[in-house]
Structure 1
Amino acid sequence: MHYTLHQLQIFLKISELQSITKASEALNLTQPAVSIQLKNFQDQFPIPLTEVVGRQLYVTDFGKEIAQAADKILNEVHAINYKTLAYRGQLSGRLKLSVVSTGKYVMPYFLSDFMKQNKGVELIIDVTNKSRVIESLEANEVDFALVSVLPKKLIIDKIALMQNKLFYVASKELNLPEKLSKKRLFEEVPLIYREQGSATRSAMETFIGKNKLSVNKKLELTSNEAVKQAVISGLGCSIMPLIGLRNELRNNDIEIIPVKGLPISSEWNLIWLKSKKLSPAALAYLEFLKREKEKIIAKKFYWTDKI
């Protein structure tokens, strides 16, 4: 057999995502390139690795075993690379994070300088909703998770990063009347929700429940970006994190509507399992955050205090 590490990496990603299209996106490769490598890899085995039923790709039982072996091989290769860097006195290893979707506006700024200073560290980030973030942390799949709502059932350590504020926002396309009462604002104007499991949705529903508001629910969307575009288009209003609205506010695509009881304030926290034995790379990152986080906030997020 003459399979390559590149082919192992591609097949492992296909087996994880159950999709050639998604694998190509995750690996920053074209779909034809991934398909060709999958075919070349398959040609080295007399038993099918995948099968297509309808339009869905499935990994066979034999393919799952090969994927497990591929994962072990690639981990050993990474270990060799890390040991080489460590022998040369460089910090090395993998840093794995799971980040709630709105956290993508926050986390990169707290990682950029650390990664520049430590070329031997490999960064893996999964951006998803709150439920999946907590699942991955509980399953010990990641070193750290970024959340704005702390999990109640896990024993964790944490480091607070910065404040998270949620405002009621609308497009100027809606031409909302001035001084519209809170009751009418929620009853008459379509409200756009995030999906179940989202921390933003949970905060919205808590606010609505505490204020005993009836809601004209219009849409439910699965990402902060999708909600933002729906608001800009005039489909409705929403309660959204300020951190993801800087450009839209600057360009007057979105405006903040004053509502009594808002903004909702919480805090971005980087959390990890208290029982987890952190790698040298993870420990170094925590030290970096403790030392640099206030400088990062002052440099990158000063504008949030002006709103």
Structure 2
Amino acid sequence: MRITLRQLQVFQTVCEQRSYSRAAELLALTQPAVSQQIRQLEELLEQPLFEYVGKKLYLTHAAEYLRSTAKDVFQRFDVLDMQLSELSGTLKGELRIAAESSAKYVLPHIIAEFQRLHPNITPILNVFNRAQLLRRLNDSRDDLVIMTDVPSEMALEFMPFLSNPIVAVVNSDHPLLQITPLTLQHLADYTLLQREIGSGTRRASELFCQQKHLQFNSFVEFNSSEAQREGVSAGLGIAFLPRYCAFRELQAGSLRELQLKELPIVRSWCLVHPQQRHLSPAAQAFEDFIVQQRQLISRIAAKFAVIAAS
């Protein structure tokens, strides 16, 4: 077979975009050029790769097999590039990290410290909710994933490295702040501001409420922790938020953390990757950094924790 890397790149982009026209835009090609590359691949494989059902583009079984192979090929070239850079005495290349949205406040500080040691590695950080991360893990799309609540049914390697406390917050003049002693059942009279289905924070708070038999009568849903936080500030209700997410507002006093013996909900962020995925030198360097620099990571996290608790 005389399959070229360019053909695989075009094919991979069409798979990701599920569109010839969007793939052409991303690759700076014309749509006929993309179609020609796919047609040449189909001739080499003697199998159709895509089919339309209505207006939607679907992958055939042959395309699924080729997609898996193409992913492996490009990953191996990434590893080769980094290995060659190691031989020259400089570790360089891209490091693709996908993280739960609650990690995006602390993670840039950790990455900054890592890059001081490895200035030629280019981190690429993308933030998703838990459901999206699970799909990306299943497709092995990232070098490393940072998430809580690692699913046991998937073949994953994971390493816990930092706690992610989830607290109940209200605005600064909320009536609950005047109740002593405050209990969980006092919260049930107010509206719960929650994240969208698929969010790790929502999953954790729902499990907590089930375990504590805490039932709210009204809800408002937001698709980001920032909007959720603003909803609390506006007086819409109560929210369970990662403390890191609200630390600036807690420091300023515009939001207040409810003091309850059952809280915070403590979960751990984990460094995760599929068991079958061979770590690139850059990913291995980041994993080694997390293991070797626990004290540094704790000091970074402590800045947020002290501010939030003050």
> Shorter chain as normaliser: what TM range?
0.7 to 0.9
Q: Give the match's secondary structure for 1:127.
A: strand
Partner AA of 1:107 in structure 2: L
* 1:91 aligned counterpart, secondary structure: coil
Which residue of structure 1 aligns with residue 149 of structure 2?
149
* Coordinate RMSD, CA, aligned: 4.4
Q: Which residue of 2 aligns with 1:224?
A: 225
Alpha-carbon contact 1:195-1:201 (below 8 Å) kept: yes
Equivalent residue number for residue 107 of structure 2:
107
Q: Which amino acid aligns with 2:298?
A: I
Deviates further, 189-198 or 90-99: 90-99
Structure 1 unpaired stretches of 5+ = 24-32, 46-55
Kindly report which structure 2 residues correspond to 1:160-199, keeping only aligned pairs within 5 A, or say none.
160-176=160-176, 178-179=178-179, 181-182=182-183, 185-199=186-200
Change (3 A) 1:38 1:249: farther
Residue 183 of structure 1 and its aligned partner are, at CA, apart by: 5.5
User: Secondary structure at 1:266's aligned position in 2?
Assistant: strand
Amino acid in structure 2 at the alignment position of 1:172: S
Structure-2 change in CA distance of 1:123 and 1:17 (3 Å): farther
Q: Measure the CA separation in 1 of the matches of 2:88 and 2:205.
A: 51
Q: Name the counterpart of 1:119.
A: 119
CA gap of 1:214–1:81, structure 2 versus 1, over 3 A, is: closer
The equivalent residue for 2:94 is 94
Normalising by structure 2, we get a TM-score of 0.72
Find the counterpart in structure 1 of residue 159 from structure 2: 159
Q: Match of 1:162, as an amino acid?
A: L
Q: Matches of 2:140 and 2:73 in 1, distance apart? A: 20
Deviates more, 1:156-165 or 1:196-205: 156-165
Write out per-residue CA displacement over residues 248-269 of structure 1, whole angstroms, 9 at most, x where no aligned residue.
Answer: 1111111011224111111111
The 1:239–1:72 alpha-carbon spacing in structure 2 relative to 1, beyond 3 Å, is closer
Match of residue 251 from structure 2: 250
Per-residue CA deviations over 1:123-167 (Å, capped at 9, x if unaligned) read: 222211112112212222122211121211123332222111111
Asked whether the 8 Å contact 1:131–1:197 carries over to 2, the reply is: yes
Structure 2 counterpart of 1:174, one-letter code: H
- Give the corresponding residue for 1:278: 279
Q: Secondary structure at the match of 1:105?
A: coil
What does residue 27 of structure 1 align with?
A: none
Contact 2:83-2:281 within 8 A present in 1 as well: no
Deviation, 1:121, is 2.2
Partner AA of 1:256 in structure 2: E
CA distance in 1, matches of 2:284, 2:73: 26
Give me the whole-angstrom Cα distance separating, in 2, the residues matched to 1:167 and 1:75.
Answer: 40
Judged with a 3 Å threshold, the aligned counterparts in structure 2 of structure 1 residues 299 and 98 are, in CA distance, closer, same or farther, namely closer
After TM superposition, the structure 1 stretch with the greater mean CA deviation from structure 2, 173-182 or 113-122, is 173-182
Contact 2:106 2:300 in 1 (8 A): no
- How far the C-alpha of 1:37 sits from its partner, in A, is 9.0
Residue 26 of structure 1 is matched in structure 2 by none
User: Closer, same or farther in 2 for the Cα pair 1:175/1:186, shift >3 Å?
Assistant: closer
Q: Which residue of 2 aligns with 1:135?
A: 135
Q: Does 2:204 correspond to 1:200? A: no
Contact 1:192 1:236 in 2 (8 A): yes
> How far apart are the structure 1 equivalents of 2:141 and 2:132?
11
The aligned amino acid for 1:123 is P
CA contact (8 A) 1:173 1:233 kept: no
One-letter code aligned to 2:190: V
Contact 1:99–1:145 (CA<8 Å) still a contact in 2?
Answer: yes
Q: Deviations over 1:3-30 (max 9, x none)?
A: xx9xxx9xx98985689xxx9xxxxxxx
Comparing 114-123 with 133-142, greater Cα deviation is found at 114-123
Deviation, structure 1 residue 169 = 0.3
In structure 2, do the counterparts of structure 1 residues 186 and 295 end up closer, same or farther at CA, with 3 Å as the change threshold?
A: same
Tell me the distance in 2 between the aligned counterparts of 1:199 and 1:72: 29
- CA distance 1:158–1:184, shift in 2 (3 Å): closer
The count of residues paired between Structure 1 and Structure 2 equals 294
Summarize the Cα distance change of 1:72–1:204 in structure 2 as closer, same or farther, 3 Å threshold: closer
C-alpha contact 1:110 1:293 (8 A) present in aligned 2: no
- What percentage of residue pairs aligned between the two structures are identical? 23
- Identify unmatched segments of 5+ residues in structure 2: 1-5, 38-54
TM-score, length of structure 1 as denominator length: 0.73
User: Is 1:268–2:269 an aligned residue pair?
Assistant: yes
